[in-house]
Each structure stands twice: as structure tokens, then as C-alpha cells.
Amino acid sequence: ARTTALHLYVLCDPDGLRAFRLVLREHAEATGLLWPNDRISLFTADASRHVSAMPSLLDPSCHTGGYAYLFYKLFTPELLPAADHLLVIDSDAIVLGDVGALWAELGRFSPEQLVGMAPDQSHRYYFRLSDETDEVYSPGWRNVPGRTGVNGGMMVLQLARMRVRRWGGYLLGAVQRGVTQREAGTLRHF
């Protein structure tokens, strides 16, 4: 049983937001899962032109195929300026334990740590990315140890620290340097 009120941020496209409101009313409110002092902030990233442009700054292909929403998590320090810490849980995750234990991990971070992520439990993405016959193949995954990555659908973030370190600018700079090196042929495996 939880002991504190929640502030839940829900980021989705307009259709997803309408569906979430419906589910929220039918299930969470009707069953008493929500407490009177819980706060829920519902918004779409495209409500802010500044934020909706961010995935394209990483790479124009981020908007290809409607997958820009996958990249908005990278910009949560800018999206949620009032939040100092965040637990990110994708809508397709199933939570089997107390999320308070995951939240407590923030207290174990060293002063330098910004993000906590777990190894991905599904190898399907990485096998596809490293399979030369697959349409989503990327040679950059060829030498990834164990052909696995991290799970961006379950993260703990130190947003205040990320803002102090100018995370968004750092991320954009790192990606742009990588793209420049890739295009010049000096970045191995991409």
C-alpha cells in the first residue's frame, strides 16, 4: 500500500490523451485507486512548439513513421520544468512490485548520476537491429556486447541535475557530433 500522494504526468498524442481520460474515469477513479490529493497532469508534447521540434533536432528521421513520441522522454527536463525527479514508466509496462522501491533508487544516486536504467529484458529489438536482412538493420549494433541495450521504458531521472548540466544541449551536441562523424566516415560501425 502506498503512503504518499502521486503527481502523475501523462504524455501522449491527442487520441491517446482522450483514451487515457476515459480509462482514468472508468477504472482509477471508480475503484478508488486515486487519492483525493493525487495530481494528474495530462498533456501532449505537440502543445509546445519548442518541445515538439526537439526530436527533429536529434535527427530528422525521429519524426519518420510517427515515432517522435519515443524521443520526448529524453527531453523531460525541459518538458517538466517544475519536477526535480521523475520515474518514467511506459504505458506497455506491467508493474509487479512497489514503485516506491524504484523511486528510492534516486536516493542512492551519486551526485554525478543523472539517469538510472535497467538492461532490456527483450532481445528482439537488438537482434533485429543487428540483422543485416532486417529492414530496421543498423550496422552500429553489430558489435554491441550481448546484443542488448537498456530499457528506456523504465527509468529514474534526476531532472534538476539534468537541467543544471544542460542535458538537452549536451544530448543534441553529442548526437550532432556523431552524425557529423558518421557522414565523414570517422565514426566506426554506423
pTM of the model: 0.75
pLDDT in tens, 16-44: 888 888 888 888 877 778 888 888 888 77
Local confidence band at 182 (pLDDT 50, 70, 90 cut-offs): confident
Of 78, 51, 106, nearest to 163 by C-alpha is: 78
Which pLDDT tens digit goes with each residue over 53-101?
Answer: 777 777 777 666 666 667 778 888 988 888 999 998 887 788 888 788 8
